[in-house]
Amino acid sequence: MAYVRRKARIVALQALFESDSSGHDPEMCLGWLAEERTLPEAALSYAQELIRGVLENKGRIDSLIKAHAPNWPVEQLSAID
């Protein structure tokens, strides 16, 4: 199970990065990555859950970053940070 969740976290981050840098839909990016890497169904499902969580809480996540890293404006951070 740990292996599946690890794979899911990796591919979710890759999909979010690709989406942020290219403007593509994150779910579409995840689909491409899952197909390319033959991701197990359990990992795909968990990656989808992670991506939805990030997208639904983006404002809150950005607020937390601003509060805890005041010298690093979110707008100036690189996509992966």
The total number of structural domains in the chain stands at 1
Domain extent for 46: 2-76
pTM above 0.75, yes or no: yes
Residue 58 lies in a domain: yes
* Segment 17-32, tens digit of pLDDT: 999 889 999 999 999 9
In a domain, 81, yes or no: no
- pLDDT, averaged per 10 consecutive residues of the chain (81 residues), comes to 93 94 94 91 96 96 89 77 60
| Strand residues in the chain grouped as ranges (E) | none
Evaluate whether 38 touches 7 at the Cβ level (below 8 Å): no
Q: Please tell me the distance from the alpha carbon of residue 35 to that of residue 16, in angstroms, as a whole number.
A: 16
68 CB neighbour count, 10 Å cutoff:
8
User: Is 32 a domain residue?
Assistant: yes
Phi, psi of 55 (to 5 degrees): -65, -40
